[in-house]
Amino acid sequence: MPTYEYECLNCKYRFEEFQNMTDEPLKVCPRCGGKLRRLIGAGAGIIFKGKGFYHTDYKRQGCGDAGKKKEEESKGKSESKDEK
């Protein structure tokens, strides 16, 4: 069930409400009885559970070697500049 965020146009009270997707949006503020507006939220992030969702599971062999080579090359260039 998604969580919807509402804001009262009259008193600016903000709150969250758990509702089914098929439920009608709330219209009346629980504090002052004013008109509500449903806010657009960012939603929840996806949670991967179970076996096979680790970032190292599908990594190609030798991927880490390319990054190390670039680091070594950049260190060599900076050292040669310092010697001048």
Q: Residue 3 — pLDDT band, cuts 50, 70, 90?
A: confident
- As given in the structure block, the two tokens for residue 40 are 């657009």
Q: Structure pTM? A: 0.51
Percent of residues, the chain, with pLDDT higher than 90: 37
What average pLDDT does this structure show over 9-37?
95
Instruction: Please report the pLDDT score of residue 75 as a whole number.
Output: 63
In a domain, 20, yes or no: yes
How far is residue 4's CA from residue 46's CA, in Å, rounded to a whole number? 17
Which of the two residues, 62 and 32, has the higher pLDDT score?
32
Residue range(s) defining the domain that contains residue 29: 1-42
Give the chain's domain count: 1
Say if residue 83's pLDDT is above 60. no
Nearest to 35 by CA among 2, 11, 5: 11
> Mean pLDDT across the stretch 37-50?
75
Is 38 within a domain? yes
Q: Could you tell me the CATH number of the domain that includes residue 27? A: 2.20.28
Residue 35 covered by a domain: yes
61 in a structural domain: no
Residue 58 lies in a domain: no
* Higher pLDDT among residues 78 and 15, named by residue: 15
Question: Quick check: is 1 in a domain?
Answer: yes
d(C-alpha 71, C-alpha 75), whole Å: 6
Is residue 80 a part of any domain in this protein? no
Q: Is residue 83 part of a domain?
A: no
